[in-house]
Chains A and B, each alone.
Chain A
Amino acid sequence: MHTIFSRVNNVSAFLSSCLMSLVLAVAIASALYHTYQTPPAAGVVVNSIKVLPGKGRYLRKYRSRQQQEFAFVNFNLTADLSPLFHWNTKQLFLYVSAEYTDQQGTANEVVIWDRIVRRKEDANISSTFKNKYHLKDMSTTFRNAPPAHYTLKYNLMPYVGLLAWGEAARTSEPIPFPEPHQLA
Chain B
Amino acid sequence: MSASFKDNLLDLLEGKIDFEGQRQVENIAKFALIAAAVFSFIVGVLFQSLSVTFGIFGVAAFVLLLVVLPPWPMYNRHPVTWLPAKESQPPS
Q: Which B residues are CB-close (under 8 A) to A175? A: none
Chain B contact surface mostly: helix
| B34-50 near A? 1/0 per residue, CB < 8 Å | 10110011001101111
A7-55 residues with Cβ-Cβ distance < 8 A to B are: 7-8, 10-11, 14-15, 18-19, 21-22, 25-26, 29
> B25 — nearest CB in chain A belongs to which residue?
A1
Verify A22–B16 contact, CB threshold 8 A.
no
B21-80 residues with Cβ-Cβ distance < 8 A to A are: 22, 25-26, 29-30, 33-34, 36-37, 40-41, 44-45, 47-50, 53, 57, 61, 64-65, 68-71
Tally chain A residues at the interface, Cβ within 8 Å. Answer: 22
Complex Cα–Cα for A183 and B46 (A): 61
Q: Which of A10, A19, A87 contacts B57 (CB 8 A)?
A: A19
Verify A14–B44 contact, CB threshold 8 A.
no
Q: Given contacts A18-B36, A19-B57, is CB(A3)–CB(B14) below 8 Å?
A: yes
Q: Which B residues are CB-close (under 8 A) to A2? A: 16-17, 22
Verify A29–B45 contact, CB threshold 8 A.
yes
> A88 — nearest CB in chain B belongs to which residue?
B50
Q: How far is the CB of A26 from chain B (nearest CB, A)?
A: 7
Q: Which B residues are CB-close (under 8 A) to A14? A: 29-30, 33
> B34 — nearest CB in chain A belongs to which residue?
A18
Interface residues on B, range: 20 to 34
Verify A8–B16 contact, CB threshold 8 A.
no
B residues neighboring A (CB under 8 Å) = 13-17, 22, 25-26, 29-30, 33-34, 36-37, 40-41, 44-45, 47-50, 53, 57, 61, 64-65, 68-71
Does A118 count as interface, using CB distance less than 8 angstroms? no
Verify A1–B50 contact, CB threshold 8 A.
no
Q: Which B residues are CB-close (under 8 A) to A11? A: 29, 33, 64-65, 68-69
Q: Which A residues are CB-close (under 8 A) to B25? A: 1, 7
Verify B41–A22 contact, CB threshold 8 A.
yes
Complex Cα–Cα for A25 and B36 (A): 14
Q: How far is the CB of A27 from chain B (nearest CB, A)?
A: 11
Verify B22–A15 contact, CB threshold 8 A.
no
Other than the given A7-B15, A22-B40, A87-B44, 6 more pairs (CB < 8 A) read A4-B15, A7-B69, A25-B37, A25-B41, A26-B53, A87-B45
Verify A1–B71 contact, CB threshold 8 A.
no
Q: Which of A4, A21, A86, A88 contacts B69 (CB 8 A)?
A: A4
